[in-house]
Chains A and B, each alone.
Chain A
Amino acid sequence: MLTLIGRRLLNSIGILLVSTFVVYILVAMAGDPLAEMRERQPPIPENVIQAEAQRLGLDQPVVLRYVTWLGGVVQGDFGPSVKPNQNIGQELAPRVGVTLRLVTVAIVIATLLALIAGTAAALFRNRPADHFISTSAFILIALPSFWLAVLLKQLGIAINKAANARIFFTVGDVSVPAPQQFLPLMADMAGHLILPTIVLAMIHYASWSRYQRTAVVESLSSDHVRFAVLRGLSRGRIIRSHVMRPALIPIVTVVALDLPALFSGAVITETVFQWRGMGGFLLESIANRDANAVMAWLLVAAIAVVFFNLLADIFYALIDPRVRYGQA
């Protein structure tokens, strides 16, 4: 088990290294961060632009810049930002926690819902319960997350107005000023989480529940389930140990594969609900063509994805003895 985790970890670090290199080159080649400066009217003196280019390291070859950047990252320095007085690391760090909170809660809720709904749909295949679950899943899959986000936010505002009280938090990830004690702080954060989590969880729940349904339908028609029935086991036992357990393997894969999409979704959701999370940081950095800031963002996202994938691998090994014994 430990060797499995160790090997996966090494593999992940390799992927991260190559991935950051490719993305760094892409980002560096995508455009000139100083283009806007050069076109400004009245023109900015050439030596000022030169100095800025030097500060950002643009005068050096791109591979060397990557090595310098990587060296800095290892020491916690994400390189200079286009905004002269912004420290990328310090700006990004608190935002990471905010976004991870949203993403993690959404993953947990969406996975649980998908497991329940997908299994129910499969057990009641082609019956009213299945038609209801499947149709609603199809509609949710087709819903653009930003549209749903805007709709829920405006609905929340409308409800608050009608009730003349703040029932739903529609702006920000925490109240300003934030409560000082621990419990009220947690409650406040949870309140702010409700609407954005619904958006993020619903969209992904829908597609995951489809996969879960397929997996359970397949599991149900497998020989070992038939044999379990013929052995006289109870329904509950068959569903729990013989239908659900083998069907957990595909869903773990799907969730792991969908993580980058979840981060994309988080960007949109945070924007609509005006959270000070990673999404806002990314959009601002993109608008400023701040290559190092975008790189820092991508690095954090990639690490999160790799970490969650590692978790998925551990889940695999827990669920499937064939993985644990290295024969699958």
Chain B
Amino acid sequence: MAKPEPVPVAAAYTSRSRFGLAIRRFRSNPLALLGTFLLAGLLLVAIFGPMLWHYGFTEITPDLSQPPSWLHPLGTDTLGRDMLALVMRGMQQSLLIAGTVALIATVIGTLVGVMSGYFGGLVDASLMRLVDLVLTIPTIALAAFLGNTMSNSGVSWLGLSLVLGALFWTSVARLVRGVSLSLRELPYIKASRVMGAGHARIMLRHMIPNVADHIIVATALLVGVAILSETGLSFLGFGVRPPDTSLGLLIANAQTAVLTRPWMFYAPGLLIIMIVLSINYVGEGLRDAFNPKANPTNPLIEHRARYKAETNVPAPPANGLVNLTSFSVRFPGADRPAVDNVDLSIARGEVLALVGESGSGKSLTSLALAGLLPIGAMQSGRVSFDGQDMGGLDFQHWRAFRGRRIATILQDPSTSLNPVLTIGAQFEESFRIAGDISTAEARRRAIELMTLMAIRDPQSRLEQYPHQMSGGIRQRIVIAMAMIHNPDLIIADEPTTALDVTVQAQVLDALRIAREKTNAAMLFITHDLALVAGIADRVAVMRAGRIVEQQDVFSLFSAPRDPYTTRLLSLAPRLGEAVTTNPAQPVSTSAQPLLTVENLSRQFLRPRSRTIKGGDRVVHALRNVSFDLNAGETLGIVGESGSGKTTMLSTILGLHKPTAGRVLFEGVDLGRASPAARRAASRSMSVVFQDPYTSLDPRMTVRDLLLEPAQIHGATSDVETRARAMLDRVRLPMASLDRYPHEFSGGQRQRIAIARSLMLDPKLVVLDEPVSALDVSIQQDIIALLGELKRDFGVAYLLVAHDLAIVAELSDRIGVMLGGEMVELGTAEQVVHRPIHAYTRSLLDAVPIPDPVIERDRLARRAAELISA
């Protein structure tokens, strides 16, 4: 049953836009505040000072070259002019010009940058060449020449601003373009395009508001640069000219007077420094406020400072390799400890699986074992390894354990290896930590280990860089590195989560081999209970920082004690059951299909490079895919990464054009349809993307998000009522309407995305991995909700996912994709129980079974098959 999660509704809770949050962060930054006040003060002086001060800046007094006094607080110059009046006038000029320059540069830069980033391709290439071109010109030279020739009597401030602005826009353009390029690929922009929004609408409503923070920061910093350039030009005599004055000109006049009349030199100089400094602090403050980064970690610093020694902790049991006793981790400001009084032990050679959903504290527990808790974490309790207390060890002492006795495997193999070093070099440095070893010997042993990990052609892998190999191979290399020093403990932190299911099976095999060869104990951390069945001896289930249950694997699966474990077990998808519970849908075959895909193909050209030339550059992302989808039917498409399933969706949704073939929606060929017909079709078609964090525009409230499809298509009926009804259908409270996406959890956001997709009563909803970014327990809620909505609204789903179990649960028919081709298409029942294609069988076989007895039996059979084969 789809059960809604609590929505943050406190009595005094006021919803804040991201802008509001940024302002709050800005206000808590002392340097930025200081800069703001200083800048405001200087601005006030520049604007009102000349009106209030009793000397004009052109006024010549009889006091020549006077040092500062009550009458002339900053002294006078050689002509007897009051320095304070001059300096205030100079500031006025400098700020006016710099502000105008920044404004001009920002407007041009934003326009060019957004166009360049949004349209990409040829538009981007030519605009960026223009930027390159302007960037080759030293600004000051051209500005001086143009400024000088524009008028005989020096230039007006406006002329100077125009020239400088026309040269400075490039920095803004580059920045905005970079951000826009990445925005363009974000699901919420794509969702808007699928809804049928025009280019102008997308750029104005979605792109510019989302680059606005970057633009504000760039503009602020540009004012500083512009002041320095203007004063520099004036100093050289090509900017502001006498009788008017500028801070640069004042410094030029005082060049030889530094020692004799220092007040003339220091006052304007210090003012420039103060202005630019305050602007830069404001700019940096704004940047930090708009893009709050998660506190960056530094794994090199000592960890002793964070260790709170505790004396009353009972001594750990003598047996066991690893013992955690009353172990807690607490973050300042958090309402509950992230890890709460955990007792855990791992015996020598034992495989302990630590299972939990995100936020359960399982990763923190494993990080503590490797001495890498994040900055700010307070640890208490006792962690011991092989009888030794690990609390308070410094970096040097940890080195005796890391790599040698405790080896770690991280989640994402695409980022855990250094991208700029060869695999061979990384192996070698790992060998060297335990003493000198010759390169030849290191290579020989690395090849041995890689052969053990079933990596083909290990010799040539040594010369390669990580980006040249697939994720599965990278993870097996990481496992090989873990084996180097025969560790006592291997920590594997979600080692297969980032991998495809067929690759996952290979990596799990590699882990088993590594464990057998080294005889190490293993801490296997995962969110997927099914994975555990085949590998663990003992399982600990974590929830909200506590261990709720700890049992040997067979008892845990057969007789779970804690209700949470029972629930997790019930959620673990069982393929066979999923299909049989699916009522056979009577599908009308007589009527015209809702969606027809005919021989759809799509090719890409890989960028030219040394290793890829000519015909090899063509990538066939999609080859001759054909299928029909009837009204009210659910077609599930399964495929691993690189199977072409995403390309197929994008092509059907019209995000890119097919190389060959047709997509017919209600009989209309979308590829050849007029823009009006396409728009009409986009009304009956909507999409829910994978990542609920990026598929909703963060600058829009839920109301704006839900109303957008109606606004695009000019719906006249009462859309607000409809929005409320839809929100109710997805079980979110009405109070959600005025909130922003960031105030919701992942599952709630996905509900909003689903509500939006149903706003215009579509006939087809495309679901692109709708649950794979969510926790297991939430996945089931969303799947139940989707099933319910389908029955009530009679929509057809085109569901794409990598997880066969999820597809099987929702689909009437299933298509299997491999290498851009549809290798099998049949009813769900047939594909799951009587697969025809070998790949479908291997896909089904790779799905782990959440039952230790069956799973182990199956693994043993597979191993036997491999040996006999």
Contact = CB atoms under 8 A, between A and B. Distances in A.
Contacts of A226: 297, 299, 372, 410, 416
A283 to B, nearest CB: 6
Contact of A327 (B251, B275, B399, B609): B609
B132 A233 contact: no
Given A232-B433, A322-B419, A326-B607, A154 B296 contact: no
A321 B265 contact: no
Interface string A20-35: 0011001100110001
B734 interface: no
Interface in B215-266: 224, 228-229, 231-232, 235-238, 248, 251-252, 254-255, 258-259, 265
Contact of B408 (A143, A220, A230, A241): A230
A246 B298 contact: no
A141 B280 contact: yes
Contact of A139 (B273, B418, B420): B273
A86 interface: no
Contacts of A301: 137-138, 141
A44 interface: no
Interface stretch (B142-150, B199-207, B550-558): B142-150
A73 interface: no
B272 A147 contact: yes
A172 to B, nearest CB: 16
Given A294-B145, A325-B610, A233 B429 contact: yes
A286 B236 CA distance: 11
A268 interface: yes
B608 interface: yes
Contacts of A53: none
A289 B415 CA distance: 57
Given A30-B150, A138-B277, A230-B370, A224 B416 contact: yes
A246 B142 CA distance: 36
Contacts of A234: 399, 433
Nearest to B299: A229
B184 interface: no
A220 B296 contact: yes
A225 B254 CA distance: 52
B136 A230 contact: no
Which of A144, A260, A326 has the most chain B CB within a 10 Å cutoff?
A144
Interface string B407-433: 110101001111111100100011001
Interface string B138-170: 111110111011101000000000000000000
A281 B140 CA distance: 14
Contact of A230 (B252, B300, B403, B612): B403
Interface string B533-577: 000000000000000000000000000000000000000000000
Contact of A35 (B152, B422, B468, B609): B152
Interface in A76-118: none
A246 B146 contact: no
A283 B238 CA distance: 9
A18 interface: yes
A245 B395 CA distance: 22
Interface in A252-276: 257, 260-261, 263-264, 267-268, 271-272
Interface in B297-324: 297-300
A232 B136 contact: no
Contacts of B274: 142
A138 B38 CA distance: 15
B145 A220 contact: no
A307 B133 CA distance: 14
A150 B433 contact: no
Given A224-B417, A326-B609, A235 B395 contact: yes
B141 A231 contact: no
Contacts of B429: 231, 233, 237, 241
Contacts, number: 244
Which of B150, B402, B418, B429 has the most chain A CB within a 10 Å cutoff?
B418
A96 B169 CA distance: 29
A66 to B, nearest CB: 15
A123 B608 contact: no
A145 interface: yes
B146 to A, nearest CB: 5
Given A141-B280, A144-B248, A231-B403, A264 B467 contact: no
Interface in A289-310: 289, 294, 297-298, 301-302, 305-306
A327 B372 contact: no
B791 interface: no
Contact of A146 (B251, B280, B418): B251
Contacts of A286: 141, 144-145, 148, 238
Interface string A206-239: 0000000000011011111111111111110111
A237 B465 CA distance: 19
B493 to A, nearest CB: 10
A231 B433 CA distance: 8
B794 interface: no
B141 A267 contact: yes
A161 to B, nearest CB: 9
A219 B296 CA distance: 10
Given A223-B410, A224-B418, A327-B609, A321 B402 contact: no
Contact of A221 (B297, B418, B610): B297
Given A264-B140, A321-B465, A15 B408 contact: no
A282 interface: yes
A242 interface: yes
Which of A231, A260, A267 has the most chain B CB within a 10 Å cutoff?
A231
Given A228-B418, A233-B403, A264 B138 contact: yes
A144 B141 contact: no
Interface in B376-415: 395, 399, 401-404, 407-408, 410, 412, 415
B135 A257 contact: yes
Contacts of B407: 230-231
B276 interface: yes
Given A144-B251, A245-B418, A245-B420, 14 more contacts: A19-B136, A146-B231, A150-B255, A218-B296, A220-B296, A224-B416, A226-B372, A226-B416, A227-B478, A233-B429, A235-B395, A241-B418, A268-B236, A298-B141
25 contacts: A23-B142, A27-B146, A30-B150, A31-B149, A31-B150, A138-B277, A138-B281, A144-B228, A144-B235, A146-B251, A147-B269, A147-B273, A221-B297, A224-B418, A224-B419, A226-B299, A226-B416, A230-B372, A234-B433, A241-B418, A245-B421, A261-B138, A286-B145, A294-B141, A298-B142
8 smallest CB-CB distances across A and B, nearest first, come from: A326-B609, A232-B403, A31-B149, A264-B140, A142-B276, A154-B258, A223-B415, A232-B402
